Amino acid sequence: MLSRLFFALDINDNDKEMIANWRDQLDLPFKAIAPENFHITLAFLGNVNAKQQQELLLKAQTANQQLTNNLLFKKQDCRLTLSKLALFKEPNVLYLGLKECPCWLSQLATCLSVAAVVEGVFQEPRPYLPHLSVFRKATTLSGKSISFDQEITVNSFSLYQSISSDTGVRYQPIKQWQLHQ
């Protein structure tokens, strides 16, 4: 049986609420993403079989240990600044991008993406662009100037399963890793 999976940074409930409140004040005519689904994707995996999933769990554990054992990482915190609203035209998604992508985040995303390729899971050949999606079915950026400059703290990442139902998509965490031990 195949599961639709992805690795993502977990967003804490307070930050989810703050982002949702800001987003709702925009009053845009697009489909708002449920705050419980807010995350920053590290690696989209798509349909994965049980054997691949088990191997990816092991490789994610190794990647997390390497990251948390890195002395430079230990001296950093895991704060990220969401700062710009932008549009992915092809999937029609409005998202919040990061002011800057810290080295640890790029390294973690790369490790997880490489692990996916090793397990035979296709990865898009494009640079990593960390983002938090806030609207679906978006066709344009609003003509008005929209600013956002908010710091969030991430303490963990997870392997998620995307589950579709009549009421929409729900992201169910399968396994979580703490970023600082």
Residues whose CB is less than 8 angstroms from the CB of residue 32 and which lie 6 or more positions away in sequence, other chains included: 20, 23, 24, 134, 135
What is the token pair recorded at 10?
A: 């977990």
Residues whose CB is less than 8 angstroms from the CB of residue 16 and which lie 6 or more positions away in sequence, other chains included: 35, 36, 38
CA distance 176 to 17: 21
CA distance 49 to 25: 41
pLDDT at residue 70, rounded to an integer: 83
Task: For 44-71, write each residue's pLDDT tens digit.
Answer: 999 999 999 999 999 999 999 998 888 6
CA distance 11 to 155: 8
Question: Is the pTM value of this prediction over 0.75?
Answer: yes
pLDDT over threshold 70, residue 75? no
The domain spanning residue 53 has which CATH number?
Answer: 3.90.1140.10
**Is there a contact between 110 and 128 (Cβ–Cβ < 8 Å)?**
yes
**Domain region containing 65:** 3-178
**Is there a contact between 155 and 179 (Cβ–Cβ < 8 Å)?**
yes
Name the residue type at position 119: E
How many structural domains is the chain composed of? 1
pLDDT at residue 113, rounded to an integer: 97
Task: For 82-97, write each residue's pLDDT tens digit.
Answer: 998 999 998 999 999 9
- What secondary structure does DSSP assign to 14-35, as a single string? HHHHHHHHHHHHH--SSEEPPG
CA distance 129 to 2: 26
